[in-house]
Structure 1
Amino acid sequence: MDWKKLSTTKITQVYKSVFLSQCYICNAKTQNTLCKSCHEGFPTNLNHCQRCKRPTHKASVLCGQCQTNRPAYTICIAPYRFEGIIKTLIHSIKFNQGTHYIRPLTYLLSEHLIESYSSESWPEQILYVPSHPSRIKERGFCQTKAMTIQLTKNLTELLGEKCPTLPKNNPLKKVKNTQAQHSLSRKERLKSPQSSYQLDGPIAKHIALFDDVMTTGSTIENCTKLLLKAGAERVDIWVIARTPDKEY
């Protein structure tokens, strides 16, 4: 008998039963990372543009912006609206060291991805929109990197070999330290420099590009065009939440 393997297995079982069998928000006993009551309070992005997933008052084929300027990416997956408890949790991760909320948020995204790709081919590679080094130093970590690592772990358990690979070094780099996006108006975001990112490393033909939140979509669009110009044939966007317009 492999006692070392048995010991590791038992320790994992105990860890999961003690720490992973309760809701990350209210601490109630649950089989998942969130209990049913807390999950039902999440602002689901039900009515949205079919292309960019911009929240709308009612389901629409394409929003006006997508009809005028069709996004460069193929599909966008954004299961939640960036408001309410979702906004609180993501802000806690980014600004208050609430990294323990990464697990439940990426778990929920994983479930949504499994459903979305039931009849689609999975990307070969997953990349993330990075922060500038000075911002990472200020914050202490890159939240999109931490989220992508956990998301990849979740998908590996669910998909096995079908899971997109996560490069050891993200080839997408932010080279200009632009002003924090959350502090800018929509007009200012759209005017942000388009050359803030560069590629340094090989990329796959079919890429999933992850970001925590998508607001105007300008950052996502710039990164997508950069990837396509470098040889990618398809880019899918994965975000946890999509910001509603002010008039929503």
Structure 2
Amino acid sequence: MDLKKLSTTKITQVYYGLFLNRCYLCDTPSHNTFCHSCQAGLIRNDQHCLQCQRPIHSTSQICGRCQIQALSYQRCIAPYRFEGIIKTLIHSVKFHQGNHYIRPLMSLLSEQLRQEYDQQTWPEQLIYVPSHPHRIKERGFCQTRAMSTQLIKQLRRQEPDLTLKFAAKNPLIKTLHTQAQHSLSRKARLNTPRDLYRVTGHVAKHVALFDDVMTTGSTVEYCCQQLLQAGAERVDVWVLARTADKAF
């Protein structure tokens, strides 16, 4: 018997039992990340385009944009709409040093991913959409790096046989410092410079590209194009939340 492993396992069980089996928002006892009452405030992205996951009025349609232009990624997973509690927590992480919300947010995404890949092949490599060094200096950290680091920790704990790799140095870099995306109009987002991101490291054949929120999808699409040019054969997009059109 491996006593060291047994001891570590028991300590982990006690830690989770005492400190983590509670709702992250209201602190009531809960075996889930959020209690039943708080889960009601999480707006699921159940009605969406079958390809880009953009919220639409049907669960069995392809949106007009995807009918006009083919996407570079093969699959998109976006379990929530960028509204309500999800929006508040993501904004807290990005703009108010609410890093303690990263773990529950990634717990929600990891649960969805495990369902999506239950009978499917997992990607070989996890890559995140990076911030520019100037933006990281302003915020003190890169939220997508922090989120993806926590996400892969949770996935590996829940899926011991998972071989998904996460490089210490992200192969995708942002080359230009631009105005914050949330402050731009939709038209300005779609006119993002084409040389904004570049791949500088190894890229696996099957890649998962992570971002916290997808709005127009232009950033994700361009990053996917760069990854495919760098040698990837398939890109799956993982985002926590998807923004609906204003007219939705």
TM bin, normalised by shorter chain, reads over 0.9
State the Cα deviation string for residues 139-176 of structure 1 (Å, max 9, x = none): 01111011101110111122223241111111101110
**Contiguous gaps of at least 5 residues in structure 2:** none
Cross-structure match for 1:50? 50
Structure 2 CA distance, aligned partners of 1:75 and 1:241?
A: 15
Per mean C-alpha deviation after superposition, the further-off stretch among 7-16 and 188-197 is 7-16
Structure 1 CA distance, aligned partners of 2:80 and 2:240?
A: 6
**Contiguous gaps of at least 5 residues in structure 1:** none
The within-5 A match list for 1:133-172 is 133-172=133-172
The within-5 A match list for 1:104-123 is 104-123=104-123
The percentage of counterpart residues that share the same residue type is 60
Cross-structure match for 1:228? 228
Distance 1:2 1:229, change over 3 A: closer
Q: State the shift of 1:40 in Å.
A: 2.4
CA contact (8 A) 1:152 1:163 kept: no
Q: State the shift of 1:121 in Å.
A: 1.1
Query: Which amino acid is the alignment partner of residue 204 of structure 1?
Result: A
Structure 1 CA distance, aligned partners of 2:110 and 2:37?
A: 20
Which SS does the other structure have where 1:223 is aligned?
A: helix
CA contact (8 A) 1:50 1:62 kept: yes
Query: Which amino acid is the alignment partner of residue 110 of structure 1?
Result: S
Cross-structure match for 2:100? 100
Query: Which amino acid is the alignment partner of residue 187 of structure 2?
Result: K
Is structure 2 residue 75 aligned with structure 1 residue 75?
A: yes
State the Cα deviation string for residues 186-220 of structure 1 (Å, max 9, x = none): 10000011211111111100000000000000000
Cross-structure match for 1:127? 127
Cross-structure match for 2:205? 205
Q: State the shift of 1:31 in Å.
A: 1.4
Cross-structure match for 1:32? 32
Is structure 2 residue 180 aligned with structure 1 residue 177?
A: no
State the Cα deviation string for residues 40-83 of structure 1 (Å, max 9, x = none): 22000010000000001222421000000111100000000001
TM value normalised by structure 2: 0.95
Structure 2 CA distance, aligned partners of 1:226 and 1:6?
A: 45
TM value normalised by structure 1: 0.95
Structure 2 CA distance, aligned partners of 1:86 and 1:134?
A: 26
Which SS does the other structure have where 1:91 is aligned?
A: helix
Which SS does the other structure have where 2:160 is aligned?
A: helix
RMSD across aligned C-alpha pairs, in angstroms?
1.6
